[in-house]
Amino acid sequence: AQKVTQAQTEISVVEKEDVTLDCVYETRDTTYYLFWYKQPPSGELVFLIRRNSFDEQNEISGRYSWNFQKSTSSFNFTITASQVVDSAVYFCALSLYNQGGKLIFGQGTELSVKP
Amino acid sequence: EAGVAQSPRYKIIEKRQSVAFWCNPISGHATLYWYQQILGQGPKLLIQFQNNGVVDDSQLPKDRFSAERLKGVDSTLKIQPAKLEDSAVYLCASSLGARGRDEQYFGPGTRLTVT
């Protein structure tokens, strides 16, 4: 069975601090995709990044970076120099190559960035 | 480009009543998903359509939930009769295809409260 675990339920930081959101996944499939979505208070899930299981290169996009490690089945997300606008619930999700695209989500991590 | 549209945004009903949600996906997107997001949890797939055919409804409580996607565009999700545990946000998403790598675009959701 497939599973995504986000052990951190809530994180609170002060603006300009760096913060890392953890994601651990379980699957026996060799071809899969990992995603991060942001859910601001408005409720709409916003796509942040997708990685496939064959590409372990880390990725940086502005203040956001992602660390994918197959050896530990982790796909962690770091926000550098956090801002109040980063306050949201962040979800890590998994989809399998041969399961029609459905996303299996973790429980989410609620990030609160205080000024 | 218009995003995924959902209505209504909020709905309050009493248990045993019926309710319907509507979703209009992004133009040209063949795949449509309905997810249920209970407070404090990640979204869980209820049903997936490819054009107007059902791909996956394994987690849809078929004794009370039904969904259709006429003409392969708009979709309606119905609950009849509603139970207290159906209180959740119902998210509609669409994607170009049904491959694991296809990015899903989410609507703002319908928040259902069953009293």
Place B14 in a pLDDT band, splitting at 50, 70 and 90: very high
| Cα distance between residue B73 and residue B37, in whole Å | 23
Residues of A in contact with B103 (CB under 8 A): 35, 47, 50
Residue numbers of A between 53 and 82 with CB closer than 8 Å to B: none
Residue of chain A whose alpha carbon sits nearest to that of B110: A43
pLDDT of residue B92: 97
Question: What's the pLDDT score for residue A100?
Answer: 79
Segment B59-71 mean pLDDT: 94
pLDDT of residue B100 exceeding 80: no
Cα–Cα dist A99/B111, whole Å = 28
Q: Is the pLDDT of residue B19 over 90?
A: yes
* Whether A4 and B42 lie within 8 Å, measured CB to CB: yes
Q: What is the mean pLDDT of chain B?
A: 94
Q: Mutation test of the interface with chain A: which of B99, B105, B110, B112, choosing the one with the most A Cβ atoms within 10 A?
A: B99
Name the residue among B93, B100, B103 with its Cβ closest to that of A97.
Answer: B100
Minimum-distance CB partner of A102 among B48, B107, B111: B48
